Amino acid sequence: MQVFLVRKPGPFTSVQDAGRTGWRRFGIPPSGALDQFAFRAANLLAGNAPDAAVLEITLPGLVLEALAPQVAAVTGADLDARINGAAAPQWTAFSLRRGDVLTFRQRRQGCRAYLAVAGGLDTAVWLGSRSTFAAGKMGSPLRAGDVLESFPPGPDARPGRRVSLSCLPASPAIHRIRVTLGPQDGWFTRRGLQTFLGSVYRLSPQSGRQGFRTEGPVIEAARQADLISDPTPLGAVQVPGDGKPIVLHRDGQSTGGYPKIARVISADLDWFARMMPGDALRFEAVSREEALRLAEAAAENWRAIVRAVEESTPRP
Amino acid sequence: MDPVLTPTGEDALLVEFAPEICLEVNRQVRRLAFALEQAAVEGVAEVVPAYRSLMVYFDPARLELPRLEEIVRSHAARAESIVLPPSRLFRIPTVYGGPYGPDLEWVAEAAGMPPAEVARIFAAGRYPVYCLGFLCSLAYLGDVPAPLRLPRRATPRTRVPAGSVGVAGGQAVILPVDQPSGFHYLGRTFVAVYDPRYSPPTPIRPGDWIECPAVEETEARRAEGVYLGELPGASLPGA
């Protein structure tokens, strides 16, 4: 079913889902929504499977025209979504009629919003996923005139399903990014490690889905030699010759030659999707056991949100 | 040599062999990666081999780290007896020089030989695939002959077209997609070494061999856009 005509694509809007797994050994990154929490919430609200394809909307500018009546939900950044000029609900499923115009007018908070339509987007599949990875010729960002299609809505596609705002992560003045050290933390001096863990870094404008660069104090290396290229996991914190950390994200390379001082824990990866250039962050080392405990806490928090949404769903 | 195991975050284990680029070390990596894949260990999500190390991604809810370390060590201990699948030779028709090899003259000057000789030496070589990686199944080829080993460009080019064949250090690459690069480009192929409409998106595997024989542009263009895995005569067994 045709659901949207793209009138204006905005600065960077792409189709994303949970990502493609099992292709790193072929040099293919996982891709998928950068803010997995907001992505799953959008699908939950639209009554979709958790891995259905949605739009990832980076910064305001997107204008869509509804081509059919439908239920949709917007989560993530507050980009001042409006339906025919009137405020659209955030983190709450709503109805659109044919001809309604959905706009994202200005950034109020965050960086990336997610739009799920009931049924999920029906776009081309590459290597098991609908996620756009333009550098690898798997789709491209939205263009004006594109028409988006969706699958039939599920039984839970009802306007009014909502996530309580008290459940949402609130952006602090300085983001706390927890990491496990290694595998190449030994390539840096003691002072370099102190700099890494004791300084405030700011997100560089040279950041994107591939990786998030930072500006801040130079991390002192103990050796100069480049590493023989080795595998680079999601969340790897690379420190190239200029001494400034780069956090690899979902479109990141599968191998690389810079030493990796640390890896961002899974529970804190989504923060990079929400930060704007210039936003402050601080890296904090935790043990692997603590990282696993925090991942389990995040999973439990998510299960509580799912229960609350199911309970809040208006019954017909 | 026993590999060094280093946990990397919640769901990855880095396994490192000797820190050098050489075929014997790379073979140890490939043997262990192959053994782990064949074993289909419950909870192992993916094994990613590189030059002299490999990363084992796993689900920590289904497989505890100490158990995984034990499994990796036991496979590494008998890796010598593992027989790898036969490698193949891919012959990738390449046009050298002119607009397709923008660095051929520069490399010739640096190597102190005529451009045609650089093309002849490179085209006569057979290069092992050490690993696939970076982005889009880029094959890392090695063992480029000594006269063609030059440092990378001081300033990388911002965009080099897909199919470009280049060298730097002892390495060679055939670019799978348009991308920035600091390598020196000698020629270009029009065959698609990478195409995400195919699964997997490249027929090349670590352990295979690559040759880039010189052809005329008209002949090279006949294979334009053809996926390497479907190019007649491009793949030969038992290299």
Q: Which domains does chain A have, with CATH numbers?
A: 2-163 (no CATH), 174-285 (2.40.100.10)
pLDDT digits (tens, 9 = 90+) for B203-223: 999 999 999 999 999 999 999
* Bridging pattern class, strands A230-231 and B184-188: unpaired
pLDDT of residue B45: 97
Using a CB-CB cut-off of 8 Å, the residues of chain A touching B135 are: 27-29, 135-136, 253-254
Mutate to test the interface with B, among A25, A232, A303 (most CBs of B within 10 A): A25
pLDDT of residue B106: 96
Q: Are residues B77 and B97 in the same domain?
A: no
**A69–chain B Cβ distance below 8 A for any pair:** no
Q: Are residues B220 and B113 in the same domain?
A: yes
Q: Read off the tokens for A54.
A: 């949605």
* Bridging pattern class, strands A174-181 and A280-285: parallel
Could you list the residue range(s) of the whole structural domain that residue B69 is in?
4-81
* ipTM here: 0.95
Band of residue B61 on the pLDDT scale cut at 50, 70, 90: very high
Q: What is the pTM of this model?
A: 0.95
Alpha helices in chain B (DSSP H): 23-39, 65-77, 104-111, 115-124, 217-222
Min Cα distance B166 → chain A (Å) is 18
Mutate to test the interface with B, among A253, A254, A269, A294 (most CBs of B within 10 A): A254
Q: Are residues B159 and B196 in the same domain?
A: yes
Q: CA-to-CA distance for B87 and A190, rounded, in angstroms?
A: 45
pLDDT of residue B232: 87
Min Cα distance A75 → chain B (Å) is 27
Q: Are residues B133 and B233 in the same domain?
A: yes
Domain containing residue B207: CATH number? 2.40.100.10
Q: CA-to-CA distance for B232 and B48, rounded, in angstroms?
A: 29
Is B138–A27 a contact, with Cβ atoms under 8 angstroms apart? Answer: yes
Q: Are residues B137 and B231 in the same domain?
A: yes
How many other CB atoms are found less than 10 A from the CB of residue B123?
17
Task: Evaluate if residue B239 carries a pLDDT over 60.
Answer: no
pLDDT digits (tens, 9 = 90+) for B131-157: 999 889 999 999 999 999 998 888 888
Determine contact, residues A43/A151, Cβ cutoff 8 Å: no
Q: Are residues B69 and B117 in the same domain?
A: no
pLDDT of residue B238: 62
Q: Read off the tokens for A41.
A: 């919430």
pLDDT of residue A56: 98
pLDDT of residue B175: 97
Q: Are residues B213 and B186 in the same domain?
A: yes
At A48, is the secondary structure helix, strand, or coil?
coil
Domain containing residue B74: CATH number? 3.30.1360.40
Q: Are residues B76 and B114 in the same domain?
A: no
The residue whose two tokens read 């980076």 is A58
Is A228–B52 a contact, with Cβ atoms under 8 angstroms apart? Answer: yes
pLDDT of residue A225: 62
Among the partner-chain residues B46, B176, B177, the one whose CB lies closest to the CB of A24 is B46
Low-confidence ranges of chain A (pLDDT < 70): 225, 314-316
Which residues have CB under 8 Å from A213's CB, separation 6+? A203, A204, A206, A207, A244, A246
Using a CB-CB cut-off of 8 Å, the residues of chain B touching A183 are: 6, 8, 14
Q: CA-to-CA distance for A307 and A312, rounded, in angstroms?
A: 9
Q: Are residues B46 and B105 in the same domain?
A: no
Task: Evaluate if residue B158 carries a pLDDT over 90.
Answer: no
Q: Are residues B68 and B174 in the same domain?
A: no
Min Cα distance A139 → chain B (Å) is 10
User: For chain B, what percent of residues have pLDDT higher than 70?
Assistant: 99
Q: Are residues B60 and B141 in the same domain?
A: no
Q: Are residues B99 and B21 in the same domain?
A: no
